[in-house]
Chain A
Amino acid sequence: MSVTVKIPAQLRAVTDGEGEIEVDGETVGDALDAVFDEHDDLRERITEDGGLRRFVNVYVSGEDIRFRDGLETELSDGDEVTILPAVAGG
């Protein structure tokens, strides 16, 4: 599946300023791994012990992946995978 991963402003220093990265992947985890392959520093910023850090939210087409299958959430062609900080609101 070809999807777009959207990178938040706070992480663009490690993606050479790129805000959107096109990758292939069957699941959210695959897509993120593909992004990490291109920008290795990103992995350490948002993951810990193989999972997402606790203040990182990931959405597929607007829906929090924790309401689906987390990193195992399956992707469709053209999906948008959005990474956002989880420290806003209230």
Chain B
Amino acid sequence: MAPEALVCRECDASYPLEARYVCERCFGPLDVAYDFADLDPAEARRKIQAGSPGIWRYADFLPFDERPRDPLEPGLTPLIRVDRLAERLGLRDLWVKNDAANPTHSFKDRVVAVALAKARELGFETVACASTGNLANAVAAHAAASGLTSYVFVPADLEEQKLLATGVYGTRLIGVKGNYDDVNRLCTQLCETRPWAFVNVNLRPYYSQGSKTLAFETAEQLGWSVPDRIVGPIASGSLFTKLGRGFSEWIDLGLVEGGLPTFNGAQAVGCSPVAAAFAAGRDVCKPQRPDTIAKSLAIGDPADGPYALDLARNTGGGIDSVSDDEIRDGIRLLAETTGIFTETAGGVTIATLAKLARRGDIDPAERVVAYITGEGLKTLDATRDGFRMHEIEPTLEGFEAELESTLTPSGAPGGSSPGRTADPGLEPATAGS
């Protein structure tokens, strides 16, 4: 088992395993091709189970001949059965993959771990990225852990939490006056003039392979089986399509039984180029100028949009979009029913899941996995007005008076129970649900 070449997804032209990402013949994206001819599924499963407690247990399915050294190994995040959320949505077999439980609190640790290992193997001393925030955190942290110099390019108006959680690692943080697509264009240009490894530009074929590990973990944690349906966020579409690639690889190689899950993608209305193309029946996306609180998904010109559309259509799924209010409600619904606090991207995913359930698109018996890709502490503004603190004097009387007037649920319905006011279109909340 070994990575063989970079192959163009459009025209099948083949290139050596170098820092390159574009086909010179047709300008299509390159992807890693492997030789799995010697793979024995039973032996592969045993090797994985005896492997490290993170993504490198899947090293045989990643673009390396040998398992790389990694001082900050991500992965093996919890896959949690969420019965209270399921009940609210009228489902029976619902799971949440909480990928906020990674070293820098988002799924980006997976792709960055793979990209930086490849950067070191190829001899780069400086790494860089164009980021909407989570990637910035991950590149800065993993570069620090590996002793690489890093440059992180972000839109200058990013959430403060994401800027702070990047700068602390000692990276060179560059705030670009523009949106993510401007940042991405700039980095694509810089990639030509700087001898740096841009994880999501010239190393993108390797970087994106890291997202396959989310599918591998899901299958392994479900006892070597695949779910019936997945719901995941779409920004560039890379995570979404590589989830598909991960499940497909293991199905094709016989590590798991069954067929590809139904794929449902989630976008914010304020940046929904892929959902709009899906609804219009187009196979390419028209770029948009993002305007949404889900900044981590605010990519108006998604590189993998066409492939995300193919995946949703080929599996009988879809791509939906939800409003900023629905996103806030989705964050709260997940928190109140599972104890998991997600950022806005997770709110997009949960609100989309709720929309699918409400619409009757999901058979209650289906096994559904929703992907929570980032941590709520990174986007605190989205929760700021969702509840209020009851401020009292430090006396028993002070507490009793507050309890009497506002804290007793039987008192005034809707009066002081914030967080119950705007359920994302679900059945009315009932006591104890």
Contact = CB atoms under 8 A, between A and B. Distances in A.
Given A87-B21, A87-B22, A67 B289 contact: yes
B26 A45 contact: yes
A66 interface: yes
B273 to A, nearest CB: 10
Interface stretch (A8-16, A22-30, A32-40, A71-79): A8-16
Interface string B107-124: 000000000000000000
Nearest to A88: B201
In the complex, which of the residues B24, B198, B204 has the most CB atoms of chain A within 10 Å of its own CB atom?
A: B24
B192 A8 contact: yes
A70 to B, nearest CB: 11
Interface in B196-228: 198, 200-201, 204
B265 interface: no
Nearest to A56: B27
Contacts of B303: 55, 86-90
B299 A89 contact: yes
A45 B27 contact: yes
A56 B22 CA distance: 10
Given A87-B28, A90-B303, A9 B192 contact: yes
Contacts of B374: none
A15 B265 CA distance: 40
A2 interface: no
A88 B289 CA distance: 17
A40 to B, nearest CB: 15
Contacts of B187: 88-89
A22 B299 CA distance: 32
B26 A86 contact: no
B180 A89 contact: yes
B28 A84 contact: no
Contacts of B73: none
Interface residues of A, number: 25
B284 interface: yes
A10 B189 CA distance: 12
Contact of A90 (B24, B25, B188, B235): B235
Contact of B299 (A10, A55, A82, A90): A90
Contact of A89 (B22, B189, B200): B200
B29 A55 contact: yes
Interface string B146-161: 0000000000000000
Contacts of B184: 88-89
A62 B27 CA distance: 20
Contacts of A62: 182, 185
A53 B204 contact: no
B299 A66 contact: no
A85 interface: yes
B261 interface: no
B201 A55 contact: no
B375 interface: no
A66 B29 CA distance: 20
Contact of A85 (B22, B181, B304): B22
B141 to A, nearest CB: 19
B185 to A, nearest CB: 6
B284 A86 contact: no
Nearest to A85: B22
A20 interface: no
Contacts of B201: 88-89
A47 to B, nearest CB: 10
Given A8-B192, A54-B284, A90-B302, 15 more contacts: A13-B24, A45-B25, A45-B27, A55-B303, A64-B287, A67-B287, A82-B189, A84-B185, A87-B22, A88-B200, A88-B204, A90-B236, A90-B237, A90-B239, A90-B304
Interface of A: 8-11, 13, 45-46, 53-57, 59, 62, 64, 66-67, 82, 84-90
22 contacts: A10-B27, A11-B27, A46-B27, A54-B306, A55-B27, A55-B303, A62-B185, A64-B181, A82-B189, A85-B188, A87-B21, A87-B22, A87-B27, A88-B130, A88-B184, A88-B187, A88-B188, A88-B201, A90-B200, A90-B236, A90-B237, A90-B303
